[in-house]
């Protein structure tokens, strides 16, 4: 697991926090932001306009911890809106466009610490959006896990319980549950049989 070093070692770098739903990604993002703020460094937080589950503009964890953020439609807006920030935080990165890795590289090359959080896999267990590219270029990666709702083991899959097959469906525990690999495999077979 990646443990933060002194801030000077993190300037001009990309950190990715990834995992399944209910694994604490946003909670960890907020924790890191608060540490940066405690050190009196300027931080700007961003989230995609599609994420309106808890609040229209704030980044909010499942535990209801929140952080003020700027909502953007396209990742390129982050380059303009970050101002003089020494740290840029981005939540729900999987919902951003494929330009996000280039934006993060540009920020890191300017000497900015970039912290990104998002789902690494979609509801089908496939790599999600720009996250795989971000994982490849990041200096630091933290994969967090939920607890499987079926087995009690570590979970890294987000199983969608509804029949909706569109890639993006916002939802909470009424729509998604975290599952281990074996439980996810069984659930996907069950779901396929229900559809057919």
DSSP state at residue 162: S
Q: For this structure, is 92 an active site residue?
A: yes
Question: Which residue of the set 92, 98, 139, 186 is catalytic?
Answer: 92
**What gap in Å lies between CA 16 and CA 177, rounded to an integer?**
22
Tokens 């300027």 found at: 42
Task: Burial-class residue 77 by CB neighbours within 10 Å (0-12, 13-18, 19+).
Answer: middle
**What gap in Å lies between CA 7 and CA 169, rounded to an integer?**
36
Compute, in degrees rounded to 10, the torsion defined by CA atoms 132, 125, 60, 161: 160
Q: What's the maximum distance between 2 C-alpha atoms anywhere in the chain?
A: 57
Catalytic center residues:
92
């Amino acid at each position: 697991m990646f443990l933060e070093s002194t801030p000077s070692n993190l300037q001009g770098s990309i950190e990715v926090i990834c995992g399944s739903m209910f694994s604490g990604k946003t909670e960890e993002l907020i924790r890191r932001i608060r540490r940066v703020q405690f050190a009196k460094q300027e931080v700007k937080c961003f989230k995609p306009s599609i994420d309106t589950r808890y609040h229209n503009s704030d980044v909010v964890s499942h535990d209801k911890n929140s952080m003020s953020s700027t909502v953007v439609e396209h990742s390129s807006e982050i380059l303009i809106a970050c101002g003089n920030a020494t740290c840029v935080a981005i939540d729900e990165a999987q919902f951003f466009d494929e330009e996000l890795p280039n934006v993060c590289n540009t920020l890191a090359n300017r000497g900015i610490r970039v912290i990104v959080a998002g789902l690494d896999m979609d509801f089908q267990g496939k790599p999600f959006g720009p996250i795989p590219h971000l994982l490849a270029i990041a200096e630091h990666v933290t994969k967090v896990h939920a607890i499987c709702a079926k087995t009690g083991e570590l979970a890294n899959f987000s199983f969608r319980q509804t029949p909706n097959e569109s890639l993006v469906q916002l939802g909470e525990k009424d729509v998604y549950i975290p599952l281990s690999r074996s439980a996810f495999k069984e659930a996907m077979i069950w779901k396929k049989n229900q559809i057919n």
